[in-house]
Amino acid sequence: MKLSYLLIGCILIVFLAVMPAQAFTAKTLTVTLNGNGDAQADMQYDLTFVEQAAIFFHAANPASLLQTALQENLNLPVTVVSAGTSSADVTIPSFATVVQSGGATTMTTPAFSFADAQNGIKGQWYASLITADFAPQTTTITFPDGYQATFNDQISIPSVSHTLS
């Protein structure tokens, strides 16, 4: 019996050693604003098999990690609606600043960055084993009137101002 456990352990180690060394990969980030500046954000991402297993066995909690990272970056309260092995949905109250002047409404989103998350991985013991990519391939910010600002492969997203039509 012990021999079979040893054999399975060795096979697992070999399997992990030859697996691709890619970790979390951000695919898309979609931020949808409502009229009062609140935002609904949806991030699509890829995880390795090992990361998915960690979530399945509750060894990792992406909802908690995501909530902490966003709150520290934005200095705003964030509610994680759902987080799983391929996506996360969050609500961010008062994400955009709303200013009304002369009958026009202008919304301004804050600049935000995933660089701290990217750099945080570098200090971990497993950093040499993985290459995480926190820059979404496509980030889209949609304003209530349908206007969209799109950014490709950027780890830092600049502030966006738009006067609603």
> 76 pLDDT exceeds 70?
yes
| CA distance linking residue 37 with residue 6, whole number of Å | 56
The answer to pTM > 0.85 is: no
Q: What is the pLDDT of residue 132?
A: 73
Q: Which of 2-6, 21-25, 80-84, 98-102 is predicted with the least confidence, judged by mean pLDDT? A: 2-6
Q: Which of 28-42, 46-60, 99-113 is predicted with the least confidence, judged by mean pLDDT? A: 46-60
Contacts of 85 (CB under 8 A, 6+ apart): 47, 51, 52, 55, 56
> 27 pLDDT exceeds 70?
yes
| Tokens 């992406």 found at | 62
**E strand or H helix that includes residue 107:** strand 104-109
> 15 pLDDT exceeds 70?
no
- Report, as an integer, the average pLDDT of 1-18: 48
- Report, as an integer, the average pLDDT of 130-149: 90
- Report, as an integer, the average pLDDT of 158-163: 96
> 34 pLDDT exceeds 70?
yes
> 6 pLDDT exceeds 60?
no
- Report, as an integer, the average pLDDT of 57-84: 75
Q: What is the pLDDT of residue 23?
A: 66
Q: How far is the CA of 147 from the CAs of 32, 129, 163, in angstroms?
A: 10, 41, 9
Q: What is the pLDDT of residue 18?
A: 46
Is the model more confident about 53 or about 138?
Answer: 138
- Report, as an integer, the average pLDDT of 139-155: 96
> 21 pLDDT exceeds 80?
no
| CA distance linking residue 107 with residue 102, whole number of Å | 14
